[in-house]
């Protein structure tokens, strides 16, 4: 299990690195926790969405009169209810969104661009009536040819999703529209010179399928819009401030008039950083004058919410016979879905990030296809490009007979490495994860006949950003911690630990809450693995703010200068013998005296957190392949990752395990199956196969701690990196087992069996 080598194991920290029970745990296991669909209001209506049955169609007209005439139907919303918005890019999670597109994604305007695209919504007294009403809405479609594949969509004669789309990032600008929204390029050195130095050059082409984040809780919200144009919105989201901004924009409201509360969240993984139902529910509520609740079915989640981009990636890497990588080049083609904005840019930036290279060139294409708009999914863009690079690196190692961990160590990015995407790395832990991999018992354990072992490394930047936090001291000395980042992975526990450490109080005395948008200043969403880092930083700042106030009061009580008071172990003490002889005043003492000494204590922080530390990881996996059925079984799996500092090691381990398991699904089984009309055939967990518990072994974890110098306790984000290495690690392991390299995901039983059969036939010939 986790070998937590806490950098401060000498006892310098008391709470950081411990494993208290999570504050939200009891509510979750007893069913008290209120998720998106758990709120009910008086007079509440049920909202339902009518979705396009076509992958691509012009909407000639929408006639909702019959639906409106149905008893129990209160209102209908269509494109006519939303004002068109001009092009304006704003950050949502780690990806940008364009308001012009957001308004079209929540409600189709000129065209339906994917099967499942909303074209109308109704609010009715019951779900049954709402469903009946949907069937009465008459939409006149002109069905258009559609395109699903990224390469097909780039062809000159491909059906155009947006007839006026001129590719950005190309000089001179193309004169003809296409489905290519953008071309990006990252360059370092001179790849031609780099390849000239190489003894071996390998180039390969890879493909990955779109995969869904697979959060168990479907999208759900309840909107309550009042006659004076104020509104409340309760929803399941990774960022209620971002939801507020998007909804206010789409409804033409002041943000201060919209109060958004984030419910407990049943998984997001990046997919709950955008809005789908929320603006529609608000519009239905505005028009009907009643609260409106909307919840997607699982089928709707699959048909209409964002997967990770499906991709085609070409990679070329040169290396000397001694194992020095001389150059890396890649071309990335990423599906954006129906609107521009695939994560191809981070895909380009991450592709070669684990390596210290002089010559790199990566070109990326952002391509529109008739599928739901992609959304962030853990380390958006990185798993696809790093799958390709890490596969080729494995092949290079095997070509010269060098241990693949050794090859990576020889070329690993470290402090001082200039990354191809610009920055020079500070302290990073890739070398440490590779050293741990090499030393791990798993890496040396004998394999059974027919099994294979693979390794791969992965990188993600992590982010900081705008963040507020408040600590409210109660009159008994206990503390209410208010954060603005929804807790999707145990962050409330991590924030409490950081507050406890800062204040020197028992973590049990701190009760956390995710405040609504009116209780705190603007706080960016939970994404980019930023919460333990950025909200953590804010909580530490808020703690220091409170300590300042506490010391002032103690100074007042003792009648000594505030400089003569120090805060230590949860109490105010005279700083040295010169300050005078006074009994310490604890947090509880000072809380009790608050009224007599100047009033309540509130520690606040509003920061723009800078200096997020990137996190590297290395995975080791053993697979067994059934040669007769093509089934790949994961026999053993170890994740090694740099956490900077593991504030609550259990939740770091949880992140590492969860990422690995999602990566296993991505590698082996998950894919969208469409019919020839572009309609999704497997919109449910029965046929869209995320792994079940019995599909995976216990995922072993090793936490490496190379502290991030910009965070007071050394924290780096950990939530995203773990989904980056699995696809390549598993493909490399399958190669080890079969001597066959799979470059197309998923490595599903039919694909693997077909490759085995083809090889048998080829061998026989």
Partner 1 sequence: MRYEAPETIEGAVKLLAGGGPRGRVLAGGTDLLVQLRAGMIAPELVVDIKRIDETREIREEGGRLVIGAAVTGAELGEHAAAKAMWPGVVEATELIGSTQIQGRASLAGNLCNASPAADTVPALVAAAATCRIAGPGGERRVPVEEVCTGPGELSLDDGEFVVAFEFPERPPRSADAYLRFIPRTEMDIAVVGAGVNLSFDDNGRCAAARVSLGAVAPTVILVEEAGRALVGTECDDAALQNMAAAASAACRPIDDKRGTVEYRTKVAGVLATRAAKIAAQRAKGAR
Task: List interacting residues with partner 1 (CB under 8 A).
Answer: 131, 628-631, 668-669, 673, 681-682, 685-687, 689, 691-692, 694-695, 748-750, 753-754, 757
Query: 510 is written with which tokens?
Result: 């701190």
Residue owning tokens 């949860």: 570
Tell me how far, at minimum, the Cβ of 48 lies from partner 1, in Å: 13
Question: Min. distance of Cβ 631 from partner 1 in angstroms?
Answer: 7
> Among residues 218 and 245, whose Cβ is nearest to partner 1?
218
Task: Tell me phi and psi for residue 727, to 5 degrees.
Answer: -60, -45
> In whole angstroms, how close is the CB of 387 to partner 1 at the nearest point?
20
Beta carbon of residue 623, minimum distance to partner 1 (angstroms, whole number): 14
Nearer to partner 1, 503 or 690 (CB): 690
For partner 1, the closer CB: 443 or 685: 685
Report the residue number, 7 or 749, with the smaller CB distance to partner 1: 749
- Closest by CA position to 712, among listed 527, 550, 495, 512: 495
Contact 129, 47 (CB under 8 A): no
Residue with tokens 């409804």: 251
Tokens of 139: 């939409």
Helices then strands, counting H and E runs in the chain, come out as 21, 30
Phi, psi of 17 (to 5 degrees): 95, 0
Beta carbon of residue 471, minimum distance to partner 1 (angstroms, whole number): 43
What's the distance, Cα to Cα, between the start and end of the chain in Å?
49
Q: How far apart are CA 496 and CA 511, in angstroms?
A: 7
Smallest gap from Cβ 685 to partner 1, in A, equals 8
Closest CB 721 distance from partner 1, rounded Å = 26
Nearest alpha carbon to residue 36 among 241, 265, 268: 265
724-733 as b/e: b if 16+ CB within 10 A: bbbbbbbbbb
Q: How far is CA 715 from the centre of its chain?
A: 18
- Is the CB of 450 or the CB of 750 nearer to partner 1? 750
Residue found by looking up tokens 């529109």 in the block: 368
Rounded least distance, CB 131 to partner 1, Å: 8
Query: Which secondary-structure segment (H or E) carries 221?
Result: strand 220-225
Residue 481 or 737: which CB sits closer to partner 1? Answer: 737
Task: Name which of 498, 36, 503, 593 is nearest 281 in CA terms.
Answer: 36
CB of 611 to partner 1, least distance (A): 42
Find the shortest distance in angstroms from Cβ 669 to partner 1: 5
Strands annotated E in 409-563: 451-460, 465-473, 479-483, 510-514
Q: Radius of gyration (Cα) for the chain, nearest Å?
A: 27
Q: Measured from the CB atom, is 262 or 747 closer to partner 1?
A: 747
Q: Which of residues 244 and 303 has its CB atom nearest to partner 1 in the complex?
A: 303
Nearer to partner 1, 287 or 679 (CB): 679
The DSSP output letter for 535 is I
Closest CA to 281 of 222, 205, 338, 329: 222
5 or 629: CB nearest partner 1: 629
């Amino acid at each position: 299990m986790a070998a937590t080598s806490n950098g401060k194991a000498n006892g310098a920290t008391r709470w950081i690195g411990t494993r208290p029970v999570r504050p939200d745990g009891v509510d979750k296991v007893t069913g008290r926790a209120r998720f998106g669909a758990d709120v009910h209001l008086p007079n509440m209506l049920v909202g339902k969405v009518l979705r396009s049955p076509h992958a691509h169609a012009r909407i000639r007209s929408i006639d909702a009169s019959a639906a409106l005439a149905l008893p129990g139907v209160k209102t209908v919303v269509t494109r006519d209810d939303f004002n068109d918005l001009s092009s304006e890019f704003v950050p949502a999670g780690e990806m940008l969104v364009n308001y012009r597109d957001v308004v079209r994604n929540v409600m189709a305007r000129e065209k339906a661009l994917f099967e499942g695209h909303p074209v109308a919504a109704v609010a009715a007294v019951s779900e049954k009536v709402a469903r009946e009403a949907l069937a009465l809405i008459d939409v006149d479609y002109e069905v258009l040819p559609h395109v699903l594949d990224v390469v097909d969509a780039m062809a000159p004669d491909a059906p155009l999703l947006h007839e006026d789309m001129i590719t950005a990032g190309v000089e001179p600008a193309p004169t003809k529209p296409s489905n290519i929204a953008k071309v990006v390029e990252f360059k370092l050195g001179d790849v031609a010179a780099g390849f000239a130095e190489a003894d071996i050059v390998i180039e390969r082409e890879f493909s990955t399928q779109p995969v869904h984040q697979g959060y168990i809780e479907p999208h759900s919200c309840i909107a309550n819009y009042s006659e004076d144009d104020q509104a409340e919105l309760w929803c399941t989201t990774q960022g209620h401030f971002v939801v507020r901004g998007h909804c206010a924009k789409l409804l033409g409201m002041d943000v201060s008039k919209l109060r958004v509360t984030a419910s407990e969240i049943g998984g997001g993984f990046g997919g709950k950083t955008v809005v789908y139902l929320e603006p529609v529910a608000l519009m239905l509520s505005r028009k009907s004058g009643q609260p409106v609740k909307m919840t997607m079915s699982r089928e709707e989640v699959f048909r209409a919410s964002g997967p990770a981009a499906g991709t085609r990636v070409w990679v070329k890497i040169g290396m000397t016979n001694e194992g020095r990588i001389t150059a890396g080049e890649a071309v990335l083609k990423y599906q954006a879905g129906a609107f521009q904005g695939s994560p191809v840019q981070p895909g380009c930036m991450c592709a070669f990030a684990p390596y210290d290279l002089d010559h790199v060139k990566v070109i990326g294409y952002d391509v529109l296809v008739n599928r739901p708009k992609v959304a962030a999914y853990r380390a958006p863009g990185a798993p696809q490009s790093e799958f390709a690079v890490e596969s080729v690196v494995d092949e290079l190692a095997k070509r010269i007979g060098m241990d693949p961990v050794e090859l990576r160590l020889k070329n690993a990015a470290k402090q001082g490495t200039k990354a191809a995407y610009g920055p020079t790395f500070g302290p990073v832990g890739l070398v440490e994860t590779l050293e741990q991999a090499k030393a791990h018992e798993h890496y040396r354990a004998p394999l059974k006949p027919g099994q294979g072992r693979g390794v791969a490394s992965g990188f993600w930047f992590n982010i900081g950003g705008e963040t507020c936090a408040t600590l409210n001291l109660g009159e008994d000395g206990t503390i209410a911690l208010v954060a603005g980042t929804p807790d999707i992975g145990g962050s409330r526990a991590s924030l409490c630990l950081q507050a406890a450490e800062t204040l020197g109080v028992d973590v049990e005395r701190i009760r956390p809450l995710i405040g609504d948008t009116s209780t705190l200043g603007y706080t960016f969403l939970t994404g980019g693995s930023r919460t333990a880092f950025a909200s953590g930083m804010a909580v530490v700042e808020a703690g220091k703010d409170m300590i300042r106030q506490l010391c002032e009061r103690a100074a007042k009580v003792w009648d000594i200068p505030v400089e003569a008071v120090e805060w230590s172990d949860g109490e105010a003490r005279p700083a040295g013998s010169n300050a005078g002889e006074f009994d310490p005043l604890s947090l509880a003492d000072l809380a009790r005296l608050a009224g007599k000494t100047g009033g309540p204590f509130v520690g606040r922080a509003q920061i723009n957190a800078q200096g997020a530390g990137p996190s590297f990881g290395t995975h080791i996996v053993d697979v067994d392949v059934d040669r007769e059925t093509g089934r790949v079984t994961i026999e053993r799996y170890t994740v090694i990752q740099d956490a900077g500092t593991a504030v609550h090691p259990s939740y770091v381990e949880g992140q590492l395990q969860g990422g690995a398991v999602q990566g296993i699904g991505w590698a082996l089984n998950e894919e969208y199956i469409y019919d020839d009309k572009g309609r999704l055939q497997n919109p449910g967990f029965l046929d869209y196969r995320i792994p079940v518990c019995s599909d995976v072994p216990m995922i072993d974890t090793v936490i490496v701690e190379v502290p991030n110098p910009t965070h007071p306790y050394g924290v780096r984000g950990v939530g995203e990196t773990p989904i980056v290495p699995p696809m390549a690690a598993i493909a490399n392991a399958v190669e080890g087992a079969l001597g066959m390299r799979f470059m197309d995901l998923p490595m599903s039983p039919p694909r693997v069996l077909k490759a085995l059969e083809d090889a048998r036939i080829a061998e026989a010939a």
